[in-house]
């Protein structure tokens, strides 16, 4: 009556075992009426011919198409490269007084430099980070200019790729609000909110200047990285955690302090 799809009489344990063996797969939810029988052969054929959404320009479908400006009260101007940013990330910067300039992912490093940013944020977003080559090139140039950079989720993977690292597709993506992130320096564990299907290859970071600072306590994957010499770091999780835990909101404070330090050094 309300057009909401549902599913019943399915052995969810069997589905779970299959996915655990094969990894994330595309699937079909078939709707049929009582007394009808599904054509399993046709459904299988249709499932095998389904286009992989990861091959689409997902970032281009969800990003801003124009520059947006959010005025702040402090003398701090942050450019946010929008790959599908959450509004909660925008709020976390404006609530800290930053003037935030949200730009499309195709914005070049020259265009960003003309905005005179005190720092650049690489937002979260969907899909394979290797598909957004324009963003990777832009970030590479910004890092070479010593512009402070903070990456979130997809932004963390872009940061790694920009300095010569590599990423890979997870067999099972990290989804949900209860992922434990272990800080290697202190041994402290933080609970985080996550939603991603790709991860950074830690072995690819040798010689890039990036080091792993947090790992996932469940599977050991990279959760945060930081450059040894340049003002750049990133978290694989969502530190604003909305919805979700807010254990790591201090990451925004860390970036704001980084922009202030960079401004002092440039005077």
Residue-level pLDDT at 96? 94
> Using CA atoms, how far apart are residues 102 and 22, in angstroms rounded to an integer?
39
Known catalytic residue: 181?
Answer: no
pTM for this model (two decimals): 0.90
**What is the distance between the alpha carbons of residues 227 and 230, in angstroms, rounded to a whole number?**
6
- Which positions ≥6 away from 231 have C-beta within 8 Å? 119, 146, 147, 148, 149, 258, 261, 262
Of 174, 179, 196, 238, which is the active-site residue? 238
Task: Give the tens place of pLDDT for each residue, 42-70.
Answer: 988 998 888 888 888 999 999 999 999 99
Give the residues across from 77 on adjacent strands.
99
Burial class (CB in 10 A: 0-12, 13-18, 19+), 12: exposed
CB 214 within 8 A of CB 235: yes
Radius of gyration, alpha carbons of the chain: 21
Per-residue pLDDT of the chain (267 residues; tens, 9 = 90+): 688 777 777 888 998 898 888 888 888 877 777 788 888 899 889 988 888 888 889 999 999 999 999 998 778 999 999 999 999 999 999 999 999 999 999 999 999 999 999 999 999 999 999 999 999 999 999 999 999 999 999 999 999 999 999 999 999 899 999 999 999 999 999 999 999 999 999 999 999 999 999 999 999 999 999 999 999 999 999 998 777 888 999 999 999 999 998 877 776
Pairing state of beta strands 68-70 and 99-103? antiparallel
Tally DSSP H helices, then E strands, for the chain.
8, 10
Task: Please tell me whether the peptide bond between 243 and the residue prior to it is cis, using omega within 30 degrees of 0.
Answer: yes
Closest CA to 210 of 161, 153, 262, 173: 161
Active site residue 238: yes
User: How far apart (Å, rounded) are the C-alpha atoms in residues 102 and 106?
Assistant: 12
Instruction: Give me the catalytic one of 76, 196, 226, 240.
Output: 240
What tokens were used for 110? Answer: 């020259």
Residue 153 is a catalytic residue: yes
Name the burial class of residue 210, with classes exposed (0-12), middle (13-18) and buried (19+) by CB atoms within 10 angstroms of its CB. buried
Report the C-alpha gap between 129 and 84 in whole angstroms.
12
Q: Which among 264, 266, 200 is positioned nearest to 233, based on CA atoms?
A: 200
Residue 252 makes CB contacts below 8 A (sequence gap 6+) with 92, 93, 96, 239, 240
Which residue in the list 83, 153, 179, 226 is annotated as catalytic? Answer: 153
The answer to whether 225 and 205 are in contact (CB under 8 A) is: yes
Greatest pairwise CA separation for the chain in angstroms: 77
Structural contact between residues 103 and 64, judged by C-beta atoms closer than 8 angstroms:
yes
Task: State residue 2's pLDDT score.
Answer: 86
User: What pLDDT was estimated at residue 267?
Assistant: 63
Domains of the chain by start residue, with CATH:
12-52 (no CATH), 59-266 (3.40.50.880)
């Amino acid at each position: 009556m309300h057009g909401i799809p549902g599913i019943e009489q399915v052995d969810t344990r069997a589905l779970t075992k299959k996915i655990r063996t094969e990894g994330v797969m595309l699937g079909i939810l078939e709707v049929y009426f009582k007394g009808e029988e599904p054509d399993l052969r046709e459904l299988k054929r249709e499932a095998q011919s389904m286009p992989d959404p990861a091959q689409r320009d997902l970032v281009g479908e969800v990003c801003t198409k124009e520059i947006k400006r959010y005025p702040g009260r402090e003398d701090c101007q942050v450019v946010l490269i929008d790959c599908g940013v959450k509004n909660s990330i925008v709020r976390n910067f404006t609530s800290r007084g930053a003037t935030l300039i949200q730009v499309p992912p195709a914005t070049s490093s020259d265009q960003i430099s003309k905005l005179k940013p005190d720092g650049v944020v690489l937002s979260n977003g969907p899909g394979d980070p290797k598909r957004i080559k324009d963003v990777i090139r832009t970030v590479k140039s910004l890092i070479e200019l010593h512009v402070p950079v903070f990456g979130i989720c997809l932004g963390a993977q872009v940061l790694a790729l920009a300095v010569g690292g590599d990423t890979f597709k997870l067999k099972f993506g990290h989804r949900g609000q209860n992922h434990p992130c272990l800080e290697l320096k202190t041994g402290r564990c933080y609970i985080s909110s996550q939603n991603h299907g790709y991860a950074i290859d830690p072995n690819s970071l040798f010689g890039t200047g990036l080091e792993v600072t947090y790992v996932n306590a469940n599977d050991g994957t990279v959760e945060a990285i930081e450059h040894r010499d340049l003002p750049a770091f990133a978290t694989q999780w969502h530190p604003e955690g909305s919805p979700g835990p807010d254990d790591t909101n201090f990451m925004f404070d860390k970036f704001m302090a980084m922009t202030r330090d960079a401004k002092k050094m440039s005077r």
